[in-house]
Structure 1
């Protein structure tokens, strides 16, 4: 008994072969000289006249025969495709994760859809922003964001000061140098917040997606092992079309 995965394996080759043969047939019937033939026989006006051999050109392409050939190759394609589509209606499998059924009796066409979507989900999760590992983060009790521990820093202000280089005398004024001194005038307490995720959370999500991807692929392979009933659709179609 043929299985669905065997039909899938030959489908591409059948399509390619049929396309080539139909294209060749199309080009063949476009060549008018191949469809044409003549027969000429010469008869002189009397027995003394010059005798000439007959001339003929054979018809090389019969449109009816080309049509029949096209019908035969397309019949094979129609039958293979019908067998696949009919089998797809019955091909189902369970998606098992850690030994438990996550999704039951999933059609193979939906499993293919799941594979594509999970690839996109994996790509999305891999791009999620993560918390700066240089900081220590904790979840804020008032919001869903993450926060760092408070960091206290000082705020300073420059205050001009005088430095006496030489004291005043009765002959010279004092020599004074003016400089600025940084004086602490207050304190900043900084807490950083972030809506990103811890790297361990992203890793956990990626592991879940990968596990489900593997389960879906396994289920698809199992569904594609379904035995098929060969469909004979093409003969009915072309028996009507080319009758």
Structure 2
């Protein structure tokens, strides 16, 4: 009994081979000289005239023959594709994760779709933004975002001060140097918020996703191992077309 995965294995080669043969046939029938033939003989007016040998060119390609050859090639492709598509209608398998059935009786065509979507989703999740690991984050219930612990910093202001270099005398005024001193005038309390995700959450999502991807692949392999019935539709199609 033929398996679906066996048909899938030969389908690509059959398509390539048939395409090449049909293309070759198309180019062949475009070469008009190959389809043309001639036969002519010479008869002098009287017996004393010059005798010339007959000339002939055989027809090398017959369109009807080429058409039948194309039909024979396409019949194989039609049969292989029909066998695959008929089998796909009945090829199903369960998607199981950790021994539990997540999806039951999933058609193989949907499993292929799901496999592609999960690959794209894996790329998306792997690129999700993560929280800065240098900070300590906690979930803020009021904003439903992540927040850091409050950090208090000072705000300073430059205040001019006088520094007496020399006291005043009856002959000279005092020598005073003006400088700025940073004086604390207040406090900032900073809390950072973020809508990113903890790395552990992303790792958890990727682990689950990998399990699901593996489960879908196993299910696809199981579905592709379904016994199939070879279809013979090509003969009917070309018996009608070329009849």
Please give the TM-score of this superposition, normalised by the length of structure 1. Answer: 0.98
Q: Who is 1:70 aligned against?
A: 70
Q: Who is 1:194 aligned against?
A: 194
Distance 1:139 1:50 in 2: 113
SS of match in other structure, 2:184: strand
Q: How does 1:75-224 map to 2 (within 5 A)?
A: 75-224=75-224
Q: Which runs of 4+ in 1 moved over 6 A?
A: none
Q: Report the Cα offset of residue 231 of structure 1.
A: 0.6
Q: Report the Cα offset of residue 227 of structure 1.
A: 1.0
Q: Report the Cα offset of residue 46 of structure 1.
A: 2.3
Q: Report the Cα offset of residue 21 of structure 1.
A: 0.6
Aligned residues: 243
Q: Report the Cα offset of residue 144 of structure 1.
A: 1.0
Please give the TM-score of this superposition, normalised by the length of structure 2. Answer: 0.98
SS of match in other structure, 1:165: strand
SS of match in other structure, 1:59: coil
SS of match in other structure, 1:118: helix
Distance 2:54 2:159 in 1: 125
Distance 1:55 1:141 in 2: 101
Structure 1 gaps of 5+ residues are none
SS of match in other structure, 2:164: strand
- 1:44-68 superposed Cα distances (whole Å, 9 cap, x missing partner): 2222222222111111111111111
Distance 1:152 1:91 in 2: 65
SS of match in other structure, 1:78: helix
- 1:84-112 superposed Cα distances (whole Å, 9 cap, x missing partner): 00000000011110111111100000000
Q: How does 1:30-41 map to 2 (within 5 A)?
A: 30-41=30-41
